[in-house]
Chains A and B, each alone.
Chain A
Amino acid sequence: MKLLLGFALVSSLAHAASPSDCWTLVHHGQNARACFTQLTQSSSAYERAEGAWGLEDWQAANENFRDAAKVASSHALVKVRWALLLHERFNNAEAADLFREAIEQDPNFAPAYLGLATVQAEDYSGNPNEAIAKALALNPKLAGAHELAAKIALDNDNRELAEKEADAALAIEGEATSAMATRAALELIADRPPDVWLAKIAAVNPHDGAAYMQMAHHLELHYRFNDAATYYRKAVEKQPELWAAHSALGIEEMRLGRAEEPQKELELAYNNGYRDPATVNSLRLLDSLAKFKTVKDASTVLILDPKESDLLAPYVQEELHTILATYSKKYAMELHGPVQVEMYPNHEDFAVRTMGMPGLGALGVTFGQVIAMDSPSGRKPGEFNWGATLWHEMSHAYIITATNQRVPRWFTEGLAVHEEGQRSPEWRDRVTSDILLAIRDKKLMPVDKLDRGFVHQEYPGQVLVSYFQAGAICDYISNTAGEAKLLEIVHAYADGQDTKQALQSVLHLSPEAFDTQFLASIDKQYGKEAQGFDVWRAKLKALVAASEAKQYDDVIANAPAVIALYPEYAGDANAYELLADAQHVKGNATEEAKALSAYMHAGGQQPELLKRLAALQEKAGDASAAIATLTRVLYIYPVRDTELHKHLGTLLMAAKQYDGAVREYAAAVTTRPLDMAGAQYDLASAYMAAGQRDKAQETVLLALEAAPDFRPAQKLLLELQQTK
């Protein structure tokens, strides 16, 4: 229906066949080739553009639109239609510019606002509802605006509004197939048959693949990945030449971890000229993935870059086994088959996996039992904790399975955030300045509407705030009613209850009553920090200035007060680090360690600061604390750091924790250090200490093969022989 946008205004431009006539044929699934060919003969550049577009001659369409737009008397519609062409051909940036130019040219032209909203909705950028409201204010009978509003509402899981907007569109335009697709998707999401709506769509256009694509999209956003694939498949069956659907199907199949189908579908789309970034980048990713290394055991499949697979696989596999054991017990269920984890050292490769998906998508994403995430080497040290991300994503795998994909976004995200904190208090979601400001400005959402904060943001940073709020809600339920209640809510969703019903049945609270209690707890916990945020910022600024001026006594005197105002702040220029630096200059190692320890417990993750703390702990004779501190670094940045593994291995050896020493020395070997023989000897010694003599012999021979005169290794070899 979007192609019909605004045609009412141009009927006066029509000749024998108007663009509107041709696109109406398309909308009804009829052959419009002759109609569009006729348009290409027109003396009007605009009509030639529409004709070329209909014949899929994108270049000619673009050039003719450009010519048409140059005419001083051209209508804003020309720019809107040109922008829609660009939007269809994967250029949303220039499309948005043209929509804005059209608005500038004619501020009362409703389709221009609708076009802008269309681009914003697809990119999850800006606030498309604002532009829709403007369009409808100018033209209340613009059915397309209601259709788009319905789609956005359903993306946000605002089902009532989605239904209302779809019906509004249908009241204006009886053949509004996108509105029908929204209604069909609503039925599917509610596990009701969509047949009535499918029949209505077929009556308008029996070959309307786009409507099925839209249904698939809504299913995808409701975690119904298998169903989404089914509907993308139906879309290509209905309209085999709908290349966008082939691409979407290929990407969905990729997300489901399927082997050959993605390549086939994506290539089909690509070879037929559908070369949007998602298609091109997904094909590129499939090429990269072919070179990745697969490490399997009975319950896990790891897909890792060969350059780091030897290093990461043992850590990830061990953590996954812990997670599987923990969640299986906690959620009283087993996953069906192994879980697949893909780790991408190139963030762009990971980004391909989340293209077209709403929300953060920045660290990891779960598609059923397939998890894609950044590798620690894909992020700057200190930016990312792969362990926390794995616990988070695995929680989704369980909850989505446990509820048969019937769970609101806020709850599965909230529970995943909560699980990070359950694994380690240092991994729990920290209040950022955006979150404090949202708390202060009363921007938290009611619990039964919280899903709306995850997809189409109403203000910058709302998605992050929503993650925090969802996690805080689960923390609150756990703290006040017990952890078991969270599982009961999972079961409630699995039984088909919505949030209102689930809260009522499990907590015996209405959403409003729950909100009142929860917001009071948030106010109690963070109200002071939120109110004192500006004071904290001013005091931190002064502390940074004192540190830069080397006024270390001032830093030592004032840092505790700054920390007390906002203890969770462990980002750049945090008071903990400034205090530690000042104590260091003063030669007070104990206080320096105390400040760094507080930083660590506040969730600080800069590897260099943690290693500095470990060194101080070791120097103070507390080797076990140093081991614990360095072990934390393994979850943050275990890559490109031979010394970390070597040193931790040495500490573990000294502590007689031989299995850990083997793990760390083996990790050091995988980093291909300059001193390879030395690293292999360390590993052989750890094997020997752990009683694994065969491995000790094998490894010491590797050390000696590289360095035959390596005395300690020679001695170990002799020892192994003598005690054989």
Chain B
Amino acid sequence: MKRLLLLLASFIVTLHAAAATYYVTVAGLGGEPDYEQRFTANAKDLDKVFRGIAGAHVLTLTGTQSTAAQLRTALAGVAQQATANDDFVLVLIGHGSFDGTEYKFNLVGPDLTAVDIAAMCDHIASKRQLVVDTTSSSGGAIAAFERSGRIVIAATKSGTEKNATVFARYFVEALQDTSADVDKNDSLTAAEAYTYASRKTAAFYESQKRLATEHAVFNDTGRGEAVRDAGGGQGQLMASFTLLRYGAAQKAASDPAKQSLLAKKEELEQKIDVLKYNKAAMDPADYKKQLTAALLELAQVQGELDK
């Protein structure tokens, strides 16, 4: 089953290599100059990263732009343009609140509830959506955001984790630090960014000798509880959702002349995935031999792609 899912995941990546991605980032109301500055800086950093992606549609709201009306307009605009094959990414930065039943994202003027924002996202045709809610109490928004085909990442495990978060800072850093691309395929997936930001957040509290007041979670199946780690069906979609591609990968993906090499590359990657999946059932020497051969061939194909 896992093998099939892996193959399916790769297939989805292939299909979407040429599709567009819509990025909407909102830095909510800071309340205090320090927070205002921090939220705006995070949003602007993300804006810069997203604008560097070929074919990306980027919209960022900060400061006085961050009103409910502006956000409604922005998401309505995406809903008008995005097709089912396009990806959609929404990043919420700032403060959130949760009264036990309802989550609200703090904006300039009236706030929006998670239900409001989810309803706007539902109007967007994109089959694959990513909502990253980095605010305090964001765990309280998960249930409202959950939907099939939508990955929801929250900085806190529940609505009761109410302290200001640092998750946003590390989520932004994940998109800037190439070491976050742990499988080194020149693409950063939502799963890689999530893992990077979660681990850095935990390390932050450890280094400060402070009790962690935020524990990031995600849900990408559209049902059930959010989880901290992949497994039990959770994490498959997130692992296949490419947030950004670096340099050569981006260039190759948009070069028609290299499509056959890319196809060969993906074939080899799948072969390696299958080998790894079957590792426990294989003779170690045989596994090593086959893996080495496949990796060598992949290295040679990559060499051709890089020419």
Binding site for B on A (CB under 8 A): 640, 674-678, 701, 704-711, 713-715, 717-718, 721
**B298 pairs with A674, CB closer than 8 A:** no
Residues of A within 8 A of B272 (CB): 705, 708
Interface of B is mostly: helix
Please choose the segment from B84-92, B139-147, B177-185 that sits at the chain A interface, where 4 or more of its residues have CB less than 8 A away. Answer: B177-185
What 1/0 mask marks residues of chain B from 161 to 201 whose CB sits below 8 Å from any chain A CB? 00000000000000000011011111000000001100100
**A711 pairs with B196, CB closer than 8 A:** no
Residues of B within 8 A of A676 (CB): 182
Q: Is B70 among interface residues, defined by CB-CB distance under 8 A?
A: no
Residues of A within 8 A of B265 (CB): 709
Q: Among the listed A640, A677, A713, A721, which residue makes an inter-chain contact with B182, where contact means beta carbons less than 8 Å apart?
A: A677
**A701 pairs with B179, CB closer than 8 A:** no
Q: Among the listed B185, B206, B291, B300, which residue makes an inter-chain contact with A707, where contact means beta carbons less than 8 Å apart?
A: B185
**B184 pairs with A717, CB closer than 8 A:** no
**B296 pairs with A721, CB closer than 8 A:** yes
Residues of A within 8 A of B299 (CB): 704, 714-715, 717-718
Q: Is B292 among interface residues, defined by CB-CB distance under 8 A?
A: yes
Q: How many whole Å from B301's CB to the nearest CB in chain A? A: 9
Q: How many whole Å from B307's CB to the nearest CB in chain A? A: 13
Q: Is B122 among interface residues, defined by CB-CB distance under 8 A?
A: no
Which chain B residues numbered 197 to 240 have a C-beta less than 8 Å away from chain A? Answer: 199, 206
**B298 pairs with A706, CB closer than 8 A:** no
**A675 pairs with B182, CB closer than 8 A:** yes
Nearest 9 pairs of A and B residues by beta carbon: A710-B184, A714-B299, A707-B184, A709-B185, A675-B179, A707-B183, A704-B295, A708-B272, A718-B299
Interface of A is mostly: helix
Report the bound CA distance from A710 to B294 in whole Å. Answer: 14
Report the bound CA distance from A714 to B302 in whole Å. Answer: 8
**A674 pairs with B179, CB closer than 8 A:** yes
**B288 pairs with A711, CB closer than 8 A:** no
The interface size bin for chain B is 20 to 34
Which chain B residues numbered 280 to 299 have a C-beta less than 8 Å away from chain A? Answer: 288, 291-292, 294-296, 298-299
Residues of A within 8 A of B185 (CB): 707-710
Closest to A678 in B: B179
Given A705-B276, A707-B182, answer yes or no on A674-B291 (Cβ-Cβ < 8 Å). Answer: no
Report the bound CA distance from A701 to B290 in whole Å. Answer: 12
Closest to B198 in A: A674
Q: Is B269 among interface residues, defined by CB-CB distance under 8 A?
A: yes
Report the bound CA distance from A714 to B180 in whole Å. Answer: 19
**A709 pairs with B182, CB closer than 8 A:** no
Residues of B within 8 A of A704 (CB): 295, 299
**A709 pairs with B292, CB closer than 8 A:** no
Closest to B291 in A: A705
Q: Is B267 among interface residues, defined by CB-CB distance under 8 A?
A: no
Given A677-B182, A677-B184, answer yes or no on A714-B291 (Cβ-Cβ < 8 Å). Answer: no
Q: Is B102 among interface residues, defined by CB-CB distance under 8 A?
A: no
Q: Among the listed B180, B183, B199, which residue makes an inter-chain contact with A709, where contact means beta carbons less than 8 Å apart?
A: B183
Closest to B187 in A: A709
**A711 pairs with B292, CB closer than 8 A:** no
Residues of B within 8 A of A701 (CB): 288, 291-292, 295
Q: How many whole Å from B254's CB to the nearest CB in chain A? A: 17
**A708 pairs with B298, CB closer than 8 A:** yes
Give the residue among A675, A701, A713 with the most B Cβ atoms within 10 A: A675
**B269 pairs with A706, CB closer than 8 A:** no
Residues of B within 8 A of A718 (CB): 296, 299-300, 303
Residues of A within 8 A of B295 (CB): 701, 704-705, 708, 714, 717
Q: How many whole Å from B306's CB to the nearest CB in chain A? A: 7
Residues of A within 8 A of B300 (CB): 718
Q: How many whole Å from B300's CB to the nearest CB in chain A? A: 7
Report the bound CA distance from A705 to B288 in whole Å. Answer: 10
What are 11 contact pairs spanning A and B, CB under 8 A? A674-B182, A674-B196, A674-B199, A704-B295, A704-B299, A705-B276, A707-B183, A709-B269, A710-B184, A714-B299, A714-B303
Q: How many whole Å from A641's CB to the nearest CB in chain B? A: 10
Residues of A within 8 A of B294 (CB): 708
Closest to A677 in B: B184
Give the residue among A707, A709, A711, A718 with the most B Cβ atoms within 10 A: A709
**B298 pairs with A714, CB closer than 8 A:** yes
**A709 pairs with B179, CB closer than 8 A:** no
Closest to A707 in B: B184
Residues of A within 8 A of B303 (CB): 714-715, 718
**B184 pairs with A678, CB closer than 8 A:** yes
Q: How many whole Å from A416's CB to the nearest CB in chain B? A: 32
**A706 pairs with B296, CB closer than 8 A:** no
**A706 pairs with B292, CB closer than 8 A:** no
Closest to B287 in A: A705
**A717 pairs with B296, CB closer than 8 A:** yes
Residues of A within 8 A of B199 (CB): 674
Q: How many whole Å from B173's CB to the nearest CB in chain A? A: 11
Report the bound CA distance from A461 to B164 in whole Å. Answer: 44
Residues of B within 8 A of A706 (CB): 182-183
Residues of A within 8 A of B298 (CB): 708-709, 714
Residues of A within 8 A of B183 (CB): 677, 706-710
Residues of A within 8 A of B182 (CB): 674-678, 706-707
Residues of A within 8 A of B206 (CB): 640
Residues of B within 8 A of A678 (CB): 179, 182, 184
Q: Among the listed B276, B291, B306, which residue makes an inter-chain contact with A711, where contact means beta carbons less than 8 Å apart?
A: B306
6 other contacts beyond A704-B295, A706-B183, A709-B265, with CB at 8 A cut-off? A674-B199, A705-B272, A708-B272, A709-B183, A711-B302, A715-B303
Report the bound CA distance from A713 to B302 in whole Å. Answer: 11
Give the residue among B179, B186, B265, B288 with the most A Cβ atoms within 10 A: B179
Residues of A within 8 A of B296 (CB): 717-718, 721
**B306 pairs with A674, CB closer than 8 A:** no
Report the bound CA distance from A715 to B303 in whole Å. Answer: 8
Q: How many whole Å from A256's CB to the nearest CB in chain B? A: 37
Q: How many whole Å from B274's CB to the nearest CB in chain A? A: 12
Report the bound CA distance from A709 to B196 in whole Å. Answer: 19
Report the bound CA distance from A331 to B183 in whole Å. Answer: 53
Closest to B294 in A: A708
**A709 pairs with B302, CB closer than 8 A:** yes
Q: How many whole Å from A683's CB to the nearest CB in chain B? A: 15
Report the bound CA distance from A701 to B291 in whole Å. Answer: 8
Residues of B within 8 A of A705 (CB): 272, 276, 291, 295
Which chain B residues numbered 259 to 285 have a C-beta less than 8 Å away from chain A? Answer: 265, 268-269, 272, 276
Report the bound CA distance from A460 to B303 in whole Å. Answer: 70
Report the bound CA distance from A640 to B199 in whole Å. Answer: 13
Closest to A675 in B: B179
Q: How many whole Å from B243's CB to the nearest CB in chain A? A: 16
Given A674-B195, A701-B295, A713-B184, answer yes or no on A708-B179 (Cβ-Cβ < 8 Å). Answer: no
Residues of B within 8 A of A708 (CB): 183, 185, 268-269, 272, 294-295, 298
Report the bound CA distance from A504 to B265 in whole Å. Answer: 83
Report the bound CA distance from A711 to B185 in whole Å. Answer: 8
Residues of A within 8 A of B186 (CB): 709, 711
Closest to B183 in A: A707
Q: How many whole Å from B203's CB to the nearest CB in chain A? A: 9
Residues of A within 8 A of B268 (CB): 708
Report the bound CA distance from A435 to B182 in whole Å. Answer: 52
Report the bound CA distance from A705 to B272 in whole Å. Answer: 8
Q: How many whole Å from B172's CB to the nearest CB in chain A? A: 16
Report the bound CA distance from A678 to B178 in whole Å. Answer: 10
Q: How many whole Å from B247's CB to the nearest CB in chain A? A: 10
